[in-house]
């Protein structure tokens, strides 16, 4: 079994060593330009076209939860990867817990009005504020896949009304499920905190726009943990400036790194992190990949297979 590996920034020495320990029967190498030797599996992130082009692989593993980058490459270069070759994404591999930590900490930050207290602190004002009520702090999760489901699950213990919206109806204990375009308005009505964990598809691009934001509860909050392409930044800023939105927490952006002249940097009601809500952790990712390869070699069922038409 031959495996090729490519990632523009990961320490390939660590990855190759760990995979060799997990799959001692495999020959694994870091791919370099001009390497046309046979391979059975490819582990990649933003791979060069010539790495995969023409190869008869048993499977390709994207080294992240999202596969939009490789699908975008395939639109421009469909010859890069035959339709018959399975494409896999990392379903959780420690990302679920990271997303839970991020979402819970920020929801509680807003619920306890720490954002307002920070503004008062900057004005040197000692002023206790009225508390928010849990029953008025409905949380809506856009996207109820593996990560969205994990985030909703982590918020259950805090007693907030919870709802989710996705392409198809989900069955999550304690969470009201909405599905399809016809139910999006019902999902948004009364939602105070909107957490985006949608996949990046043509249908979801620009979904968090003026029309959507206007359907949220007044003085609501937006947390974007999925992709920058989901959010129309100018519409978010307008809603913050006119008071429809009270705050935003953004981890992903249309352009990364975010340019220094982007107005999001200076807005007092926008908090940001540099795309770190959930990062690929080598040990968990390697365990998933090697287990999946062993399952494939034995003809057993696997998870994480990407539907290229849906985009996830």
Give dist(CA 230, CA 91) in Å, integer.
20
Can you list the positions of beta strands (E) in 74-218? Answer: 87-88, 139-142, 162-166, 176-179, 193-196
Active site residue 275: yes
Give dist(CA 72, CA 62) in Å, integer.
13
Beta bridge partners of 43: 5, 61
Residues in the chain, overall count: 312
* Sequence-ordered list of residues with C-beta below 8 angstroms from that of 149, at least 6 positions apart, any chain: 164, 170, 172
Point out the catalytic residue in the list 29, 275, 281, 291: 275
Strand 59-62: give its sheet, edge to edge: 27-30, 2-6, 41-44, 59-62, 87-88
Point out the catalytic residue in the list 7, 89, 167, 227: 227
Give dist(CA 309, CA 135) in Å, integer.
39
Measured N-to-C along each axis, helices 95-111 and 146-156 cross at an angle, to the nearest 10 degrees, of 40
Cα Rg of the chain (Å, integer): 21
Give dist(CA 209, CA 196) in Å, integer.
12
* Sequence-ordered list of residues with C-beta below 8 angstroms from that of 15, at least 6 positions apart, any chain: 5, 7, 43, 282, 286
Residues acting as catalytic residues: 227, 275
């Amino acid at each position: 079994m031959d495996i090729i590996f490519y990632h523009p920034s990961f320490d390939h020495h660590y990855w190759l060593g760990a995979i060799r320990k997990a799959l001692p029967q495999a020959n694994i190498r870091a791919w370099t330009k001009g390497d046309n030797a046979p391979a059975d599996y490819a582990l990649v992130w933003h791979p060069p076209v010539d790495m995969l082009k023409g190869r008869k692989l048993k499977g390709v593993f994207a080294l992240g939860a999202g596969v939009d980058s490789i699908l975008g490459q395939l639109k421009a270069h469909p010859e890069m990867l035959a339709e018959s070759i399975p494409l896999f994404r990392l379903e959780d591999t420690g990302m679920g817990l990271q997303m839970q930590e991020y979402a819970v900490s920020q929801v509680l930050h807003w619920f306890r009005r720490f954002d307002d207290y920070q503004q008062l602190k900057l004005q040197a004002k000692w002023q206790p504020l009225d508390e928010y009520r849990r029953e008025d702090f409905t949380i809506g999760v856009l996207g109820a896949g593996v990560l969205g489901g994990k985030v909703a699950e982590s918020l259950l213990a805090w007693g907030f009304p919870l709802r989710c919206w996705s392409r198809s109806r989900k069955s999550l204990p304690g969470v009201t499920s909405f599905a399809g375009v016809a139910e999006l308005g019902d999902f948004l009505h009364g939602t105070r905190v909107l957490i985006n964990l949608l996949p990046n598809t043509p249908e979801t691009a620009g979904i968090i726009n003026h029309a959507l934001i206007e359907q949220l509860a007044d003085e609501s909050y937006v947390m974007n943990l999925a992709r920058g392409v989901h959010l129309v930044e100018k519409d978010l800023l307008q809603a913050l400036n006119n008071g429809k939105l009270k705050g935003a927490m953004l981890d992903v952006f249309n352009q990364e790194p975010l340019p220094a002249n982007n107005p999001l940097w200076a807005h007092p009601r926008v908090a940001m992190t540099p795309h770190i809500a959930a990062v690929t952790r080598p040990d968990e990712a390697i365990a998933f990949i090697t287990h999946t390869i062993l399952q494939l070699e034995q003809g057993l069922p696997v998870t994480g297979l990407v539907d290229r038409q849906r985009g996830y």
